[in-house]
Amino acid sequence: MRIYLTHCTGIKDNLIKETGEKIVPDKFYQSAPIQRFFSRCKTQKVAWAVLSDKHGVWFPDIKHSWYDKHPDSVSIEELDALVENFDDNLNNFTEIWFYNNPSWFHELYKKVLKRSSLKERIRLFSHLKEII
């Protein structure tokens, strides 16, 4: 079973900050590249999620409140928790396809993927047409 994953973005729906409403990731993250990722995954009807700096693996049916956490602010302990969350949440998938734009791929995400016990299942890709 395959899942498509991407990292979060700093471009968020700031109206949610004011309301305190909990929302799903595709309503929260607003950058054009991540919205194109969401759209392609939905069109192709594939499993997908976002790797959040705060929440770890964020599946499309889970709601969270607004947050702002830069990947540079993640502590060693938080990194350990992100790796554990990644492994726990994705353990049932035989293939983990991680979508990234190499120029925007923060060192934090590289560390999570490198430290994951699932690293043999992870494949990086950078073209949305590869979501099938």
Q: pLDDT tens for residues 22-73?
A: 999 999 999 999 999 999 999 999 999 999 999 999 999 999 999 998 899 9
Cβ atoms of 100 and 71 closer than 8 Å? no
Confidence of residue 103 (pLDDT cuts 50, 70, 90): low
State the DSSP code for 90. H
Confidence of residue 16 (pLDDT cuts 50, 70, 90): confident
Q: Which domain holds residue 69?
A: 2-130
Asked whether residue 108 carries a pLDDT value surpassing 90, the answer given is yes
User: Could you give the C-alpha distances from 69 to 4, 53, 58, 78, in angstroms and in order?
Assistant: 22, 6, 14, 11
Average pLDDT, rounded, for the chain: 94
Pair of tokens at residue 111: 């560390």
Question: DSSP letters of 62-77?
Answer: --B------GGG--HH
Q: Which region holds residue 52: left if phi is over 0, alpha if psi is between -120 and 50, else beta?
A: beta
Determine the average pLDDT of the residues in 92-113: 89
Helix (H) or strand (E) holding 4: strand 2-7
Asked whether residue 14 carries a pLDDT value surpassing 70, the answer given is yes
Q: How many CB atoms lie within 10 A of CB 106?
A: 16
Cβ atoms of 66 and 17 closer than 8 Å? yes
Domain tally for the chain? Answer: 1
Pick from 102, 94, 12: nearest CA to 50: 12
- Residues with Cβ within 8 Å of residue 24, at least 6 apart in sequence: 60, 61, 62, 63
pLDDT number for residue 12: 92
